[in-house]
A and B are shown apart, each in its own frame.
Chain A
Amino acid sequence: MGLIKYLHIGRISFKNNLAYKTDFLVGSLFIALIIFILINLWQTMYADRAVIEGFTITMMIWYLVMTESIVTSPGRVIEQMGDEIRSGDIAQKLNKPYNYVLFHYAESMAKSAQRFVLTFLFGGIVTLLLIGPLTFNLNHFFPILLVVILALTLHFTLMALISVFALWLEDSKSMHFIYQKVVFVLGGMLLPLDIFPDWLASIGKSLPFSFIAYFPAKLFVGFNWNDFLILIAKQIGWILIFVACTIIVYRISFKRISINGG
């Protein structure tokens, strides 16, 4: 039975999300709008040059489609989990026969899968129409899929870890804002880290956020088996570190929760 229940949770979450089609469509269409803005910005920058730090304009925009799709697809996990922890609603979930964090992971991954596909599709259509296709070898489809799944998992573990601090900070929305913007910039979502000044690029590349956006998207626009193997090893390493941190922090934090009936 073990992990099967989490598959069922994911399946239910998947179906629930389908019930809110408009919300989903509008959210993904919004990302297409952002891609449109970024295309305009980069067309200006590429007006007098063909390549910037190894990126052609086609590579640059497809890179951004990939980073936007990964980073935005899980939604507001910190807010959702943080609010449950802060308000005490978590009590209703702790007495259920499942692991609280794994429950949210299953829910989040189901939602992310749907949103990722839609966002990538809408962003891709805008890019195809305004910029053109990316040269992509179909043999690289499954390795890229694996990298994206690991990126989403790492993204989730970081958000799950941060959300527990709602117990002390009492405001999950603020934490979501800050985390989101750190991934936007230091994770390389808005700009490839190659464009950063060297010292800042080194910092960005050594932080876990870049394994959510920068490295996966760079691999997508310029695939290389060696880079792929190094990337998945590092992604798994970071995931294990944050899973361990999450387990420890949740154990300590849950001792602070007192359930007074209901």
Chain B
Amino acid sequence: MVVSHLKLIIEYMKINIATAMEYRFNFIVQSLSMVANNAIWILFWWIFFQKFNIVNTWTMNDMIGLYAVLTFSFGIAGTVFGNRRRIAEVISEGRLDFFLTLPKNVLFHTLIGKSSWFAFGDVIFGLIMATIAFQWWQFPLYFLLCTLSAIILTSFAVIVSSLAFYMGDARSTSRQLDIGLMSFGGYPLSIFSDTAKILLMTVIPAGFISTIPVELLTQFQLKWFLILLGFTLLIFVIAIFVFYRGLRKYESGSMITTRM
């Protein structure tokens, strides 16, 4: 079961790489534009830290570490589960039929159905930032924490996209919530008030995708690692539950589609 799904990921990756090579110019432009996009955020923080030096114990190096985790996780989620931001659209337009008729897990298959080339730029940028912010011996932990972060990002996207089963058209709402998670994730948790911190560790779990991993990388604490692991597992289970619960309400659009 697990092996067959892993094989499916590999097959999709092969197709996606072949497509990227076919449209090489677009692939390069999109990847590089995402690198430039992220670099401008680093420029913003560089200007900020030139003026203030320190933000609630956070330094410029910590911010580079935060971007290393955030962009790499986002890149992995977008490269492997590139459809995660399109699920609401797929549901609203009744295009889930295609995945329902195939002998693979519906949610899993829908998620891996597309790969984002922009996300590849995030992966590259994340790795560049990681080489600046971390030592070589921190990399195994870095990859592990980014994997957990990517699972949280994907699970959150599935939960908010599943609103489409109940609301009908939830494209805008789910997209904004998803971008909201990333926006909050781009700032250290320490700048927020206590109430906001609670929200950012539960409803919009931005703290778990950036600040906690960065703090674990700079000063490892088993307690926080286990909390992160537990939360990842919890949101993963909730995402599966919410999606399949919603699927019972799904109405087919009877749309005939060709996937090329």
Contact = CB atoms under 8 A, between A and B. Distances in A.
Given A22-B173, A27-B172, A178-B37, A33 B44 contact: no
A136 interface: no
B172 A40 contact: no
Main secondary structure of the interface of B (DSSP, over half): helix
Contacts of B183: 33-34, 37
B102 interface: no
B204 to A, nearest CB: 9
A33 B47 CA distance: 23
A29 B175 CA distance: 13
Interface string B16-44: 00000000011001101110110011011
Interface string B153-180: 0000000000000000100110010011
A181 B47 contact: no
B196 interface: yes
Interface residues of A, number: 33
Contacts of B184: 37
A173 B176 contact: no
A66 B26 CA distance: 35
Contact of B41 (A44, A181, A191): A181
B52 interface: yes
A41 interface: yes
A169 interface: yes
B173 A185 contact: no
A45 B43 CA distance: 18
Contacts, number: 83
B139 interface: no
A209 interface: no
Main secondary structure of the interface of A (DSSP, over half): helix
B206 to A, nearest CB: 10
A174 interface: yes
B47 A185 contact: yes
Contacts of B187: 37, 40-41
A40 B40 contact: no
Contacts of B193: 40
A126 interface: no
B33 A26 contact: no
B172 A177 contact: no
B55 interface: yes
Interface in A1-56: 22-23, 26-27, 29-30, 33-34, 36-37, 40-41, 43-45
Contacts of A173: 30, 33, 118
A200 to B, nearest CB: 7
A190 B191 CA distance: 16
Contact of A178 (B36, B48, B173, B196): B36
Interface of B: 25-26, 29-30, 32-34, 36-37, 40-41, 43-44, 47-48, 50-52, 55-56, 118, 169, 172-173, 176, 179-180, 183-184, 187, 190-193, 196
Given A37-B187, A40-B191, A44-B190, 9 more contacts: A29-B176, A30-B179, A44-B56, A170-B29, A178-B40, A181-B36, A182-B40, A185-B44, A196-B47
29 contacts: A22-B172, A22-B173, A26-B172, A26-B176, A27-B172, A33-B183, A40-B191, A41-B187, A43-B191, A44-B191, A169-B29, A170-B25, A171-B29, A173-B30, A173-B118, A174-B29, A174-B33, A174-B34, A175-B33, A181-B36, A181-B40, A181-B41, A182-B40, A184-B44, A185-B47, A190-B44, A191-B47, A195-B51, A196-B47
